[in-house]
Amino acid sequence: MSDTMKMKRLAAHPLAGTTMTGAQMIVQVLADEGTTAIFGYSGGAILPTYDAVFLFNQEQAARGGQQMPLIVPANEQGAGFMAAGYARASGRVGVCLVTSGPGATNTVTPVRDSMADSVPMLVICGQVPTSAIGTDAFQEAPVPALMGSIAKHIFLVTDPNQLEATVRTAFEIARTGRPGPVVIDVPKDVQNWSGTFKGEGVLPIPGYRKRLFAVTHAAVEDDEAAEFFDMLREAKRPLIYAGGGVVNSGASGPLTDFAAEFGIPVVTTLMGIGAFDTTHRLSMRMLGMHGAAFANYAVEDCDFLMTIGARFDDRVAGVPAKFARNAKRIAHLDIDRAEINKVKRVQWSHVGQIGDALKTLLAFGRREGFRPDLSAWHAELDELRRTYAMNYDRASEAIQPYYVIEEINRQTRGEAIIATGVGQHQMWAAQYFDFKRPRLWLTSGSMGTMGFGLPAAIGAQIANPGALVIDIDGDASIRMNIGELETVTTYDLPVKVVVLNNYGDGMVKQWQKLFFKGRLSASDKSLYKKDFIKAAQADGFGYAVRLDRKADVPRVVEEFIRHPGPAFLEVIIDRDAGVYPMVGPGQAYDEMITGDFIPSRNAKVEPKTPGPSEMF
Q: What is the pTM of this model?
A: 0.96
- The reply to whether 374 and 417 lie within a common domain is no
Distance CA 270, CA 332 (A): 18
Residue 331, SS3? strand
Are 262 and 422 in contact by the 8 Å Cβ rule? The answer is no
**Is residue 367 scored above 50 in pLDDT?**
yes
**Is residue 5 scored above 80 in pLDDT?**
no
- Candidates 274, 317, 281, 272; CA nearest to 299 is 317
Domain hosting residue 287, numbered range: 218-387
Are 489 and 72 in contact by the 8 Å Cβ rule? The answer is no
Are 103 and 125 in contact by the 8 Å Cβ rule? The answer is yes
Is 478 within the bounds of a domain?
A: yes
Q: What is the pLDDT of residues 284-326, one digit of tens each?
A: 999 999 999 999 999 999 999 999 999 999 999 999 999 999 9
**Residue partners of 343: CB distance under 8 A and separation at least 6:** 311, 312, 313, 317, 320
For residue 302, report the phi and psi dihedrals to the nearest 5 degrees. Answer: -65, 150
Is 93 within the bounds of a domain?
A: yes
| pLDDT confidence tier of residue 278, bands split at 50, 70 and 90 | very high
Q: What is the pLDDT of residues 391-433, one digit of tens each?
A: 999 999 999 999 999 999 999 999 999 999 999 999 999 999 9
- The reply to whether 236 and 372 lie within a common domain is yes
Q: Which residues are catalytic?
A: 76, 138-139, 188, 507
Is 246 within the bounds of a domain?
A: yes
- The reply to whether 40 and 161 lie within a common domain is yes
DSSP 371: -
- The reply to whether 318 and 372 lie within a common domain is yes
- How long a stretch of residues is the chain? 616
Q: What is the pLDDT of residues 117-166, one digit of tens each?
A: 999 999 999 999 999 999 999 999 999 999 999 999 999 999 999 999 99
- The reply to whether 250 and 105 lie within a common domain is no
- The reply to whether 492 and 560 lie within a common domain is yes
Distance CA 592, CA 202 (A): 51
Distance CA 390, CA 427 (A): 12
- Candidates 380, 49, 322, 75; CA nearest to 187 is 49
Q: What is the CATH number of the domain that holds 353?
A: 3.40.50.1220
Is 581 within the bounds of a domain?
A: no
- Give the total number of structural domains in the chain: 3
Q: What is the pLDDT of residues 521-553, one digit of tens each?
A: 888 765 678 899 999 999 999 999 999 999 999
Distance CA 307, CA 217 (A): 20
The single-letter code of the amino acid at 285 is: R
- The reply to whether 129 and 91 lie within a common domain is yes
- The reply to whether 166 and 66 lie within a common domain is yes
Is 11 within the bounds of a domain?
A: yes
Q: Which of 198-212, 479-493, 557-571, 593-607 has the lowest mean pLDDT?
A: 593-607
Residue 399, SS3? coil
Is 266 within the bounds of a domain?
A: yes
Residues 225-236: what's their mean pLDDT?
Answer: 98
Query: Burial level of 213, CB count in 10 A (0-12/13-18/19+)?
Result: exposed
Is 313 within the bounds of a domain?
A: yes
- What order of strands is seen across the sheet that includes strand 496-501? 441-442, 417-420, 469-474, 496-501, 567-572, 543-547
Distance CA 204, CA 564 (A): 49
Q: What is the pLDDT of residues 425-453, one digit of tens each?
A: 999 999 999 999 999 999 999 999 999 99
Distance CA 446, CA 466 (A): 29
- The reply to whether 153 and 239 lie within a common domain is no
- Candidates 456, 451, 427; CA nearest to 439 is 456
Residues 462-473: what's their mean pLDDT?
Answer: 98
pLDDT at 523: 85
Are 52 and 27 in contact by the 8 Å Cβ rule? The answer is yes
- Candidates 500, 521, 504; CA nearest to 512 is 521
| pLDDT confidence tier of residue 605, bands split at 50, 70 and 90 | confident
Q: What is the CATH number of the domain that holds 169?
A: 3.40.50.970
Mean per-residue pLDDT over the chain, rounded: 95
Is 488 within the bounds of a domain?
A: yes
Greatest CA separation found in the chain?
A: 75
- The reply to whether 350 and 251 lie within a common domain is yes
pLDDT at 9: 55
Query: 418: part of which helix (H) or strand (E)?
Result: strand 417-420
Task: Note the Cα 400 to chain centre separation in Å.
Answer: 26
- The reply to whether 350 and 452 lie within a common domain is no
- In our burial notation (b when 16+ CB lie closer than 10 A, e otherwise), range 227-245 reads ebbebbeebebbbbbbbbb
Give the Å distances, CA to CA, from 506 to 275, 577, 610.
28, 8, 19
- The reply to whether 277 and 424 lie within a common domain is no
